[in-house]
Amino acid sequence: MARRKIVAGNWKMNMTPSEAVKLVEELKPLVASDDVDVVYCVPAIDIVPVVEAVKGSNVKIGAENFYIEDKGAFTGEISAPMLKDAGVEYIVIGHSERRDIFGENDILINAKVKKAFEAGLKPILCCGESLELRKKGTYLDWIKRQITWDLTGVTADQVKNLVIAYEPIWAIGTGETASSDQAEEVCKAIRENISEMYDAATAEAVRIQYGGSVNAGNAAELFAKPNIDGGLVGGASLKADFGKIVNYK
């Protein structure tokens, strides 16, 4: 069975609540689609108004971060059950900005993946190599290691509901996109890794996105590749172009 494409916006630390609602209204007619899953991953403070604003549309909501405990003395944090109760369905985990700026390691990321599934959220698990590793040529080993660590103890049934986003760090926010062949090479290797870790059916089911300077001009070529099941889109998700990415065909 063909995998359904999934195009997710990663708003990062952009959009006040009132700006967020305005953007949702602007994008509503542009992102309508019958055959692509559309997700907005939004800052925590935007979740409640945005969940309300997308009602009646095809858009699902994701969060960008949470902490692994359910509740308690963790000042400043938000839990997975809180997100679920607020109407969130997807959760970005392991983004390179959280790994690099906020020091998240694969042990924490693995705990987050397990907690997200336990709470009924679908993780969008990010992986990707630095420019240094790309130049060295060891990027496939690096990504395999990230995926293996991050999915330790995660079941095949859970992985079937997982989204993996391959995001080469050198292509994020830089305007430099991986070529469709470079992106396909890694997404294919990730699928093979899932097949080795689990089985062929799980590898067939898992959806693998490409992320890193996806825009209205390059989405069609990237998404046409057999192992690329959509995109995780940063900058271009904050403007009308996002509609063109969703409706890339």
Binding to ligand PGA (CB under 6 A): which residues in 195-214?
Answer: 211-214
Q: Which two tokens stand for residue 11?
A: 């708003």
In angstroms, how far is CA 238 from the centroid of its own chain? 16
Binding to ligand PGA (CB under 6 A): which residues in 120-179?
Answer: 167, 172-173
Cβ of residue 189: shortest distance to ligand PGA, in angstroms? 20
Cβ of residue 56: shortest distance to ligand PGA, in angstroms? 27
Pick 10 or 110: Cβ nearer ligand PGA? 10
Give the DSSP per-residue string, 116-168: HHHHTPEEEEEE---HHHHHHT-HHHHHHHHHHHHTTT--HHHHHT-EEEE--
Pick 116 or 214: Cβ nearer ligand PGA? 214
Q: How far apart are the first and last CA of the chain?
A: 20
Our finding on whether 62 is near ligand PGA (CB under 6 A) is no
Pick 113 or 126: Cβ nearer ligand PGA? 126
The H-or-E segment that residue 233 falls in is: strand 230-233
- Residue pair 61/42 in contact (Cβ under 8 Å)? The answer is yes
Cβ of residue 133: shortest distance to ligand PGA, in angstroms? 17
Q: Which of 95, 104, 129, 184 is catalytic?
A: 95
132 is catalytic: no
Our finding on whether 63 is near ligand PGA (CB under 6 A) is no
Member of 5, 10, 91, 238 binding ligand PGA (CB under 6 A) = 10
Which residues partner with 60 through β-bridges? 39
| DSSP structural state of residue 216 | T
Q: Which of 64, 104, 167, 184 is catalytic?
A: 167
Binding to ligand PGA (CB under 6 A): which residues in 79-118?
Answer: none
- Determine the 3-state secondary structure of 61 from DSSP: strand
The interface mask with ligand PGA, positions 220-239, x = CB under 6 A, is ------------xxxxx---
Pick 47 or 172: Cβ nearer ligand PGA? 172
Cα gap 26→83, rounded to integer Å:
25
Pick 146 or 213: Cβ nearer ligand PGA? 213
Pick 173 or 217: Cβ nearer ligand PGA? 173
95 is catalytic: yes
> Angle CA(60)–CA(63)–CA(64) in degrees, nearest 5?
135
Q: Which two tokens stand for residue 93?
A: 């985990």
Question: 32 to each of 18, 25, 85, 97, how far by Cα in Å?
Answer: 22, 12, 25, 29
Q: Name the residues annotated as catalytic.
A: 95, 167
Q: Which residues here bind ligand PGA, judged by CB under 6 A?
A: 10, 167, 172-173, 211-214, 232-236
